[in-house]
Structure 1
């Protein structure tokens, strides 16, 4: 299983929750999570997608910490089986 397979599944499952899974590329800041999840009722979360068993780089860990300190939900996803749990935590089950 590749990182892109996990990412495709995340996009599909987010759409099934009536949400959007936006690819995020920051031109001025490195290490920002790959995806922004937008769900009904203003729910938002960030997801860094990794291949199975892969860990975030130090700059990614720093950005994840900064986002969490601002009060955002931020996840590292390296397994398709964790997608539902992540979406539920962001608020995908509150429909």
Structure 2
């Protein structure tokens, strides 16, 4: 597991920083593996079509939906250093928060797992 900075600056990591991953896809693969190892069920929103067809989804939907019993649900937006959520993503995040759902934007695996642990503790 790649190491992460001790403190996450407000608004994410600068492009000059590293989260230990060459791509968001590699970050997402480790995120799913680590969450599932901790008892979460994880749905990935965009992996491509198994039959080679188009994939349609609401613009800005977060990367991952993680959930576990009892009634604990967490939306996750993964970003590489220097990247921030798009306007469409921020709109979806606001809609989810208004409906009472937790949405977290994370730049490191350490921060993602910290958010998941906080959610697990808050909703036993």
User: Into which bin does the TM-score normalised by the smaller protein fall?
Assistant: 0.7 to 0.9
Separation in structure 2 between the aligned mates of residue 36 and residue 92 of structure 1, nearest angstrom: 18
Report the more deviating stretch, 16-25 or 40-49. Answer: 16-25
1:74 to 98, 103, 106: 103
The residue correspondences of 1:60-71 to structure 2 (distance < 5 A) are 60-71=89-100
Q: Secondary structure in 2 aligned to 1:85?
A: helix
Name the CA distance, whole Å, in 1 between partners of 2:56 and 2:119.
Answer: 26
Find the aligned partners of 1:88 and 1:82 in 2 and give their Cα distance: 10
Larger radius of gyration: 2
Q: TM-score w.r.t. structure 2 length?
A: 0.67
Q: 1 or 2, which has the higher helix percentage?
A: 1
| Cα displacement (A) at 1:89 | 2.5
Give the length in aligned residue pairs.
Answer: 95
Consecutive unaligned residues of structure 2, counting only runs of 5 or more, are 1-20, 47-54
Q: Structure 1 residue runs of 4+, over 6 Å off?
A: 92-95
Contact persistence 2:72–2:123 (CA under 8 A): no
Match of residue 22 from structure 1: 43
Aligned to 2:12: none
Deviations 1:35-94 (A, max 9, x none): 100122121010111112310001101110110111000011211221221111321687
CA displacement, residues 5-60 of structure 1 (integer Å, 9 cap, x when unaligned): 22112101111121111012583521110110012212101011111231000110
What residue in structure 2 maps to residue 85 of structure 1? 114
Structure 1 residue runs of 5 or longer lacking an equivalent are none
Q: Note the aligned Cα RMSD (angstroms).
A: 2.1
